[in-house]
Amino acid sequence: MLHLPDNGRQIYEVSIYNKEVRALVKENQSHSYFDDFWADVRIQDVIARNEVEARKLIAKRFPPGDGFVIQEIHRGEI
């Protein structure tokens, strides 16, 4: 995190993985675009006003249509 949140925003930790990559890795294959590490849960920090906004921001960067799945989201600690 390069800067602290302001204006009522919080840090949210989002646990996310890619279901398409996960399925391919189980079959000893690789996705044509995304790296194999997306088969595992990755933590992404998001600065947002609330959980709804955090979900929107993460979905913009990691679209569900591309196979990304939010496993868990919670407010992080500073």
The residue with tokens 């939010």 is 70
- The residue extents of the domains of the chain are 10-75
Instruction: Label each residue of 9-21 as H, E or C.
Output: CEEEEEEEEEHHH
> Could you tell me the pTM of the whole model?
0.85
pLDDT tens, position by position, 10-26? 999 999 999 999 999 99
Mean pLDDT of the chain: 91
Classified as helix, coil or strand, 7 is: coil
DSSP assignment letter at 65: G
Q: Give the model's pLDDT for residue 2.
A: 43
Check whether domain 10-75 has CATH 1.10.10, yes or no: no
